[in-house]
Structure 1
Amino acid sequence: MTVIKRWIAYFLLILISASLQAAPALMTLALPDGQWRTVDEASLAKLPHIEFTTTTPWTLGTRQFRGPTLATLLAAYGVPDAKKAIVSGLNGYQQLVDLTQFDNLPLTLVRYENGQPLTRRNKGPLWLLLPFTDHPTLDIPAIHNSMVWQVTRIEIVN
C-alpha cells in the first residue's frame, strides 16, 4: 500500500509541476541597461491593442491585424523614449530599426491576423507591421526591411 501511495504522490507532483511551468516566451526584450525580459502571451495580452485592416506585400488581399504598438510595449517595459532597436526573427534575419521614423505611426507588434493568433507558418508568433493601406507613402522597400516577422528578440540600442 505504501508503494501505491508513493506512486500517486509522485504522479500528483508531476501534474502540479507541469501546471506551474512558466508560459512559453513569445520573444525576449533586451533593455538598454543590459537586463533581459521575456514577453509571453499573458504579458502581451495585458497591453492595449490596436486593430487595423491593410494589404501587405507578403499577404494576399486585405487582412485584419491586431496587437500592441511597439511604443506601447516599450513604454510598459520602461523604455518609452527608445530611438533604435535591433529586431531579430526566428530565421536569423535582423534589422536595425530607427524607431524615430515611426513616431506618431502605429508600428505594431502584431499577434493576430483575421482574429487568429499568428503561428510560425504565417509569420508569427509576432510580426512588426504597419498599416500600409493607411500610410501608402511608407509602402516602400526601405520600410519593408523593418517589417520583421517571426520576431524572437528586440534589443534596444540607444
Structure 2
Amino acid sequence: MALTLGTAALPAEAPQEPILRITGQIEKAGRIAEYGAAEFDRAMLEALPKLVLETSTVVTDGVHRFSGFLMRDLLDRLGAEGETVTATALNDYSVDISMSDFHDFDVIVAMEMDGAPLARDDKGPLWIVYPRDDHAVLQDIRYDYRWVWQLSELHVK
C-alpha cells in the first residue's frame, strides 16, 4: 500500500465542536489553547490525508474497511516529541501506547467503518485501529488493548 503524506497545514481556526484533545509534549497545532492543548473538530480531522485500511478486529465479525488518518501524520504535524501516548476514551478507559507503534505500523484513527461514520454509541466518533491482519505480531492480545474506541484525548509524554 502506497502512502502519501499531505503537506497542507492544519487549520488555524477554533474547532466548532471538539472531538479530540491533544496535550503534553506538542509544539504546534491548528489551535493551541493557552493551557497547552490542541483541540480538533471533525472537519479539521477530515482535512488530514486519508488512509483506508481493511482488517479484522477482536470485537467485530469479519474484515471491515476503516477510513481515517494515520496517527503518525497527526502527531508529526503537531511536533509531538515523546516516547509514549496515553489514549483516553469517552468512558475514561486509557492505555499507554509506545510512540514507536505509530512509526512501525500504519495505525490509523478511524472515522468511518464500511463507509459509514463511526457513531458515538458504537465505537465512534474516533477509533484507534491497527493493521492487525498485515502483521502477525499485532494479533497478540497486548495490541488489542491499544484499540481505543470512542477516543477523546491523547497525551504525549
Q: TM-score, normalised by structure 2?
A: 0.80
Kindly provide the amino acid, as one letter, of the partner of residue 30 in structure 1: T
Q: Verify the 8 A CA contact 2:126 2:151 in the aligned structure 1.
A: yes
Kindly provide the amino acid, as one letter, of the partner of residue 155 in structure 1: H
> Which runs of no fewer than 5 residues in structure 1 stay unpaired?
1-20
Greater CA deviation, 93-102 or 29-38?
A: 29-38
- Mapped to 2, the partners of 1:22 and 1:50 lie a distance apart of 22
Cα RMSD, aligned residues only: 1.7
Kindly provide the amino acid, as one letter, of the partner of residue 133 in structure 2: T
Give the aligned partner of residue 4 of structure 2. none
SS at 2:88 equivalent? strand
SS at 1:24 equivalent? coil
Kindly provide the amino acid, as one letter, of the partner of residue 110 in structure 1: A
Are 2:65 and 1:64 aligned?
Answer: yes
- Mapped to 2, the partners of 1:35 and 1:44 lie a distance apart of 19
Greater CA deviation, 56-65 or 98-107?
A: 98-107
| Structure 1 ranges of 4+ moved more than 6 A | none
Shift of 1:61: 1.2
Q: Verify the 8 A CA contact 2:15 2:44 in the aligned structure 1.
A: no
SS at 1:95 equivalent? strand
Q: Which has the larger radius of gyration?
A: 1
- Mapped to 2, the partners of 1:31 and 1:102 lie a distance apart of 17
Name the one with the larger helix percent: 1
- Mapped to 1, the partners of 2:108 and 2:20 lie a distance apart of 15
Give the aligned partner of residue 110 of structure 1. 110
Identity across the alignment (%): 25
Shift of 1:22: 5.0
Q: Summarize deviations over 1:48-107 as a string: whole Å, max 9, x none.
A: 01101111001111110011111001112222x442111000111010111214423111
- Mapped to 1, the partners of 2:15 and 2:146 lie a distance apart of 30
Are 2:97 and 1:73 aligned?
Answer: no
- Mapped to 1, the partners of 2:114 and 2:99 lie a distance apart of 26
Shift of 1:136: 2.8
Give the aligned partner of residue 125 of structure 1. 125
Give the aligned partner of residue 39 of structure 2. 38
Give the aligned partner of residue 47 of structure 1. 48
- Mapped to 1, the partners of 2:111 and 2:51 lie a distance apart of 11
Aligned residue-pair number: 136
Q: TM-score, normalised by structure 1?
A: 0.80
